[in-house]
Every structure is written in structure tokens, then in C-alpha cells.
Structure 1
Amino acid sequence: MRGVIKNLTYILISLFSANYVLSSLFYGDDPKTFIIVAFALSVLFYLGKPLLATFGLPTKGIGFLFIATILTTLTLYVLTIFLPDFTLRETTLSDLIIFGFMLPSKSLTAFWSALFSAFIISMVYTFFEWLSGSKK
């Protein structure tokens, strides 16, 4: 039970982070839509690692992050089909200054915003999972 609650908490933090950075996920007026999206992604990440390990796919590192991003993108797309209030919107990345170099703003289509949102969700989830990992 502790693992399920921890997983759901990480997904909620990831969803809030993705919406803070991109604001491309729109849940509509009904809070049930947000809860269903969070639950679906929580199930994906909770059952994903054991299934990936069963098929011999990576469960750590960059390989897992890539697979998790693809699976999260597919899950978000499927949720837009089944939940009429949940939509993936076009968005714009704002200017970014890194070490004195400015990266200009960029407009993203719905597909690219979903892909970047999925990457942020996967990255934040993986970071918190790594942060809470047990020391052996």
C-alpha cells in the first residue's frame, strides 16, 4: 500500500511540474478527469517496471527514461480518446537562458507538447524514484 501511495504522489508532482513548465495538459472543469489521468499514469508506472523487466527491457537509466517517455505519450494520447474533457493543447516554450546563452522561444504542436510533457513527467517521476531509493 505504501508503494501505491508513493507512486501516486510522484505522479501528481510530475503532472503539476509538466503543467507548470508547458501548460499543455488541459483537464477541463471536472476534477474527476485529473484524478483519472493521475490514476492511469500511476498504474502505468507502477506496473511498467515489472513488465519491462519481464521482457528484458531496461528498468534504469536513459533506456528506461526513453521507454517511459514513449509509453507516457501513448497513455496521454489514449486518455484523450476516452476522456472528452482531457485535451493536449499547443503551447509555446518561453525563452531560456543557460550559462549566458539564450535559447529562443519555440511554438509546439499538440504532438510535440504531449511528447515534451511526457518527457517531463517521466523525468520528474524517475528523479523522485531515484531520490527515494533504498541504500544497499
Structure 2
Amino acid sequence: MRGIIRTFTFVLISIFSTNYVLTSLFFAGDTKTFLVIAVALTLLYYLGKPLLATFGLPTRGIGFLFIATILTTLTLYVLTIFLPEFTIMETTLSDLIIFGFMLPSKSLTAFWSALFSAFIISMVYTFFEWLCASKK
């Protein structure tokens, strides 16, 4: 039970941080839709690792991040089909300055918005999971 609550909390933080960075996920002001999306992603991440391990796929590192991004993108797309209140909108990435180098702003289509949103969700979730990993 503690693992599900922890996964749910990490997914909530991931969705909030994605909306802060990209503002591409639109829930139509409905808390129920937001919770359904959070529960769906929680199930994906909670059940995904054991399934990936069963098939011999990576459960850590860059390989897992790549697979998690693809699965999250597919999950978000399926949720847009079944939940009419949930949409993935076109967005614009603002200018980003890293160590003095400026990356210019970029307009993203709905597909790229979904892909970048899924990447941010996967990356934030994986980071928090790494922080709370037990030493074996």
C-alpha cells in the first residue's frame, strides 16, 4: 500500500511540474479528470517495472527512461481518446539559458507537446524514485 501511495505522490509531482514547464496538458478545470489521469499513470509506473523485468527489458537508467517515455506518451494519447475533458495542446517552449548559452524558444505541435510532456513526467518520476530507492 505504501508503494502505491508513494508512486501516486511522485506522479502528482510529475504532472504538476510538467504543467509548470510546458502548460500543454489541459484538464478543463475538472479535478476528477486530473485524478483519473494520475491514477492511470500511477498504474503504469507501479505495474510497469515488474512487467519490464519479466520481459528482460531495462528497469533502470537511460533505457528505462526511454521506455517509460514511450509508454507515458501512449497512455496520455489513450486518455485523450477516452476522456473528452483532457486535451494535449500546442505549446511554446520559452527561452532557456544554461551556463550562459541561450536556447531559443520553440513552438511545439500537439504531438511534440505530448512527447515532451511524457519525457518530463518520466524524468521527474524517475528522479524521485531514485531519491527514495532503498540500498540493497
Which TM-score band (shorter chain)?
over 0.9
* Contiguous gaps of at least 5 residues in structure 2: none
Name the structure 2 match of 1:135.
135
How far the C-alpha of 1:80 sits from its partner, in A, is 0.1
Name the structure 1 match of 2:67.
67
Distance across 1 between alignment mates of 2:31 and 2:102:
37
Name the structure 2 match of 1:3.
3
Matched residues, percent identical? 81
Name the structure 2 match of 1:102.
102
Distance across 2 between alignment mates of 1:105 and 1:46:
35
Query: What amino acid is aligned across from residue 76 of structure 1 in structure 2?
Result: L
Equivalent positions of 1:109-124 (< 5 A) are 109-124=109-124
Distance across 1 between alignment mates of 2:132 and 2:29:
33
Distance across 2 between alignment mates of 1:61 and 1:41:
19
Distance across 2 between alignment mates of 1:22 and 1:29:
17
- Root mean square deviation, CA, Å: 0.5
Distance across 2 between alignment mates of 1:16 and 1:135:
28
Distance across 2 between alignment mates of 1:84 and 1:23:
18
- TM-score normalised by length of structure 2: 0.99
Distance across 1 between alignment mates of 2:91 and 2:29:
19
What's the secondary structure of 1:66's corresponding residue? helix
Structure 1 runs of 4+ off > 2 angstroms? none
- TM-score normalised by length of structure 1: 0.99
Name the structure 1 match of 2:54.
54
Name the structure 2 match of 1:91.
91
How many aligned residue pairs are there? Answer: 136
